[in-house]
Amino acid sequence: MSKRKLSLPAWIFIGMIAGVLAAGEKGVMIGKAINSMTEVIMQIMMMIIKLTPIGVFCLMTNVVAVNGASIVGTLALVIGVAYLGYFLHIVIVYGASVKFLSGMNPFAFFKGIAPAMITTFTTTSSNATLPVNMECCNKLGAEPEISSFVLPLGATINMDGTAIYQAVAAIFIACCYDVTLTIADMAMIVLTATLASVGTAGVSGAGMIMLAMVLETVGLPVEGIAIIAGVDKIFDMGRTTLNITGDATCALWISKMEQKKKAKAAAVK
């Protein structure tokens, strides 16, 4: 069995880290520079987040101007359907998972994870919420080494909310273009939305970009995305909150398994 070789950028990155560590006190200056760059990037992100409502208003104005005022009521109905799916998934799937897999009271879980959910709802980014989510999970009893691995991984591949959003949006766009979807088309939407959600980046608005692939799979016009672009931020708030809740559920479950494993090993000794 052949071993996987590291790429050249990976070796360069490792070499840079080794050089910084070997430099001792002089390497601290580079570390401070990196921290300063991180702070600058965070400030830029906060500026973008503050300007987002203005951008959403402009997009929504364009949607209403092109499609008429009646589109507002229709979009509100679609948003309601999506949020109903988010709510049921959180309560039924994640609530049951926490109860039966982690042995935790679902109300205690949702109360403990509330700061992370609020942060995600406002930033619409799984990656930006990682520090808060880790802190909440650790307070709920997750092992720090497990949460530090599971949560970043979940922020990359666990996108249940995005899958729900893409399925709802695809059916809505089909109705707008008066396209009748067959059972096979709907099954393909579900499959493609699930697969596309795995490859969606954990940043704000990424789900709408992957929606184009879902639409192309069943022959729907990609330009239909413009109809929901103005309210995508509202969709994004709910779907990202659902995503990080699933990450926390998984981190607590794996921590519970590891704790049981350690308890059995200690009992044998």
**Model pLDDT for residues 130-151, shown as the tens digit of each residue:** 888 999 999 999 988 898 889 9
Within 10 Å of residue 253's Cβ, how many Cβ atoms? Answer: 20
Tell me: do 107 and 24 sit in the same domain.
Answer: no
Tell me: do 104 and 207 sit in the same domain.
Answer: yes
Tell me: do 58 and 77 sit in the same domain.
Answer: no
Tell me: do 76 and 56 sit in the same domain.
Answer: no
Task: Find the domain containing 171 and state its range.
Answer: 69-263
For 148-163, write each residue's pLDDT tens digit. 889 988 887 888 888 8
For 216-267, write each residue's pLDDT tens digit. 888 888 888 877 877 788 888 898 899 999 999 999 999 999 888 888 877 7
Tell me: do 196 and 142 sit in the same domain.
Answer: yes
Three state DSSP letters for 171-193: HHHHHHCCCCCCHHHHHHHHHHH
For 18-54, write each residue's pLDDT tens digit. 776 777 777 777 777 777 887 787 677 667 666 766 7
The residue out of 37, 68, 99 marking a domain boundary is 68
Q: Residue 185: is its pLDDT beyond 70?
A: yes
In angstroms, the CA 40 to CA 27 distance is 20
The residue out of 30, 53, 68 marking a domain boundary is 68
Within 10 Å of residue 43's Cβ, how many Cβ atoms? Answer: 10
Residue 205: what pLDDT? Answer: 58
In angstroms, the CA 214 to CA 168 distance is 11
Tell me: do 202 and 231 sit in the same domain.
Answer: yes
In angstroms, the CA 55 to CA 62 distance is 11
For 69-113, write each residue's pLDDT tens digit. 677 777 888 899 999 999 999 999 999 999 999 889 999 999 999
User: What CATH code is carried by the domain that includes residue 215?
Assistant: 1.10.3860.10
pTM equals: 0.72
* Assigned domain for 2 exists: no
The domain total for the chain is 2
* Assigned domain for 1 exists: no
Tell me: do 120 and 248 sit in the same domain.
Answer: yes
In angstroms, the CA 252 to CA 243 distance is 15
Nearest to 162 by CA among 127, 201, 131: 201
The residue out of 68, 83, 102 marking a domain boundary is 68
What is the pLDDT confidence band of residue 4, given thresholds at 50, 70 and 90?
Answer: very low
Token pair in block for residue 228: 């929901």
Nearest to 244 by CA among 141, 122, 96, 144: 122
Residue 5: what pLDDT? Answer: 56
In angstroms, the CA 223 to CA 225 distance is 5
The more confident residue out of 203 and 124 is 124
